[in-house]
Amino acid sequence: MIIGIPKEIKNHEYRVGMTPASVRELVGHAHIVLVETNAGIGIGFTDDDYLAAGATVLATAAEVFAQADMIVKVKEPQAVERAMLREGQILFTYLHLAPDLAQTQDLIKSKAVCIAYETVTDARGGLPLLAPMSEVAGRMAIQAGARALEKSCGGRGMLLGGVPGVAPAKVVIIGGGMVGTNAAQMAVGLGADVTVLDRSVDVLRRVNAQFNGAVKAVYSTVDALEQEVLAADLVVGGVLVAGAAAPKLVTKEHIKNMKPGSAIVDVAIDQGGCVATSKATTHDEPTYIVDEVVHYCVANMPGAVPRTSTFALNNVTLPFIVRLANQGYKQALLDDVHLLNGLNVMNGQVTNQSVADALGFTAVNPLDALSA
């Protein structure tokens, strides 16, 4: 199979779909890997590094898209990239389609085979290709939130961990999953007063045990969420419903009544955000202010630490890339129900129920799509 690695073009996106080490694995399986020139430069890999791994370096993304059987990326394809997809071509990347009608329509039109990292599952019910980026984003959320609380950024002028004699900031984390627990780990390490909200008692028990009582684990009712958000200096939104749009748990009324200069980091923004006033921002302009509350809503947070993020992502995506290349997409999907769960769009049809529900499409059973 011919695998194509274009250079990422989203704002301040420096990650790359495959490292030279990953390329070497594919070449070792007798596949051809095409890499756009300077695709890995943002994480310190030159074209020579890819050539040494056995790749062919091409001058433009158009050449990569035109020749490749499978495109491996990091972020969702931008409009110019979607226009280069063709029928039957495999696209393997993060898609986050639920809040993105335009992208979904373009992928339907392309008739490409679109497999989303974020909906591939595992035997434990987890999301193994989303997990490493959730770890990164959760940890970064506290760095970003600490910065947003500084006065020069419009914040309250608080040091997250306080100092002896001065109380630390109150951090409220909505969701005790991968994002939430990693955010809590960083916040506790900095000495903040940390509360995690979740609707699963089992999750709350895990959080309580993991942090040995250093984090307050609170069951998330409407009333509890309101009380905690209004008392918070920093709110981190780490809610995830796989494949679906994130629920708007923090309302406009909550924002109006939060402390002036408090901050929100909405990590769920890739799926539309869990805060009613959230809108996607970029690393160029990461924050904006609504009702005196600083909002940080960067849609590709891990892109700010691309070297760490790329290696972490390749660790989990490489086995699936190899399987798709070795077996072809049909057999690979039929042999692995967890990879099949990653199929979002195929042959002009939406094959993920959550995406279809969010955008008003009729979902087609992925097995039916494959048999057709």
Is residue 193 within 8 Å of 171, Cβ to Cβ? yes
Give the span between the Cα atoms of 100 and 104, in whole angstroms.
6
Give the span between the Cα atoms of 154 and 75, in whole angstroms.
30
Give the span between the Cα atoms of 105 and 356, in whole angstroms.
11
Give the span between the Cα atoms of 293 and 200, in whole angstroms.
28
Collapsed DSSP state (helix, strand, coil) of residue 266: strand
The neighbour count for residue 290, using CB atoms within 10 Å, is 17
**Catalytic residues, which ones?**
96, 270
DSSP string, 71-127: EE-SSPPPHHHHTT--TT-EEEE----TT-HHHHHHHHHHT-EEEEGGG---TTS--
Residue 217 φ then ψ, to 5°: -105, 115
